Amino acid sequence: MRYFLNLLLFLSTLGSYAQVGIGTTNPQETLHVVGSVRVESSPSITAPLGLIGADDEGTLTTINIQNTLTLTNGKVNVQGNVLYGIGSQDLGGITYDGNFIHDLELGLGPGEPNEGMSVVKVYNLPANGKLTGIQDGVDGLHLFFYNVDTGNIQFMDESDTDSAGSQAENRIKVLAGSETISGKGCVELLYDGTAQRWLFLSIHD
């Protein structure tokens, strides 16, 4: 009887205070697992893709995610195509200040033809030019400026004194000082609303 009472007391103490270690002899939590963990899905879960999280009560449960995500070797990736809206802009009517183009209008503003477009094809460039600014930038706007003609367009950094011909919020940060599309080509720009500048990201010429 004494042995039974001691065993009962031991089990009661174990249930209240014990920490269980799997793969470790020094558990730091109630359940401390060192190594990989495998969870068998319930019959209601048919997809091989899933994430595990804790609910409000701390119970581990599956998290539903869209089928556009894939899980490969522990990394979540987006699958499928990313579509960009493509617009166009005729540059035949632009004006030059010498050979500089200031505050270029691409029709990106609200209600304009290229509002919401990520790619703008420009054509009919009257002559080679140096571009110092683009109108209607909004925070986070990702723009591919695609020149489909043979004329050269040089993108000027805001530090160039001639960039003062464009409004401050339309100017461009070009780390190299300037970049040129030699005929047909594309540049990638991002508008930073905090800095109120276009950021020149890359050129594909």
* Cβ pair 190, 198 in contact under 8 A: yes
pLDDT of residue 7 exceeding 60: no
∠ CA(166), CA(171), CA(174), 5° rounding? 135
Give residue 104's pLDDT: 98
Confidence class of residue 28 from pLDDT cuts 50, 70 and 90? Answer: confident
DSSP H/E element including 142: strand 142-147
CB-based contact 154:179 (threshold 8 Å)? yes
Per-residue pLDDT, 157: 98
Domain chopping of the chain, boundaries: 2-78, 86-204
Look up residue 15 and give its DSSP letter: H
Take residue 118 and report the two structure tokens written for it.
Answer: 């990520």
How much is the average pLDDT of 46-73?
60
Eight-state DSSP code of residue 40: P
Q: Is the dihedral of CA 36, 42, 47, 53 positive or negative?
A: negative
Which candidate, 181, 163, 188, places its Cα nearest to that of 91?
A: 181
Model confidence pLDDT, tens digit, residues 111-135: 999 999 999 999 999 999 999 999 9
Q: What percent of the chain has pLDDT over 70?
A: 69
**pLDDT (mean) for 68-82:** 63
Write out pLDDT tens, residues 158-179. Answer: 999 999 999 999 999 999 999 9
Q: What is the pLDDT, as a whole number, of residue 202? A: 95
Select the more confidently predicted residue: 16 or 143. Answer: 143
Asked whether 50 and 110 are in contact (CB, 8 A), the reply is no
Residue 45 has a pLDDT of: 46
Taking 70 as the threshold, does the pLDDT of residue 73 lie above it? Answer: no
Confidence class for position 22, pLDDT limits 50, 70, 90: confident
User: Phi, psi at residue 12, to the nearest 5°?
Assistant: -65, -45
pLDDT of 30 strictly over 70: yes
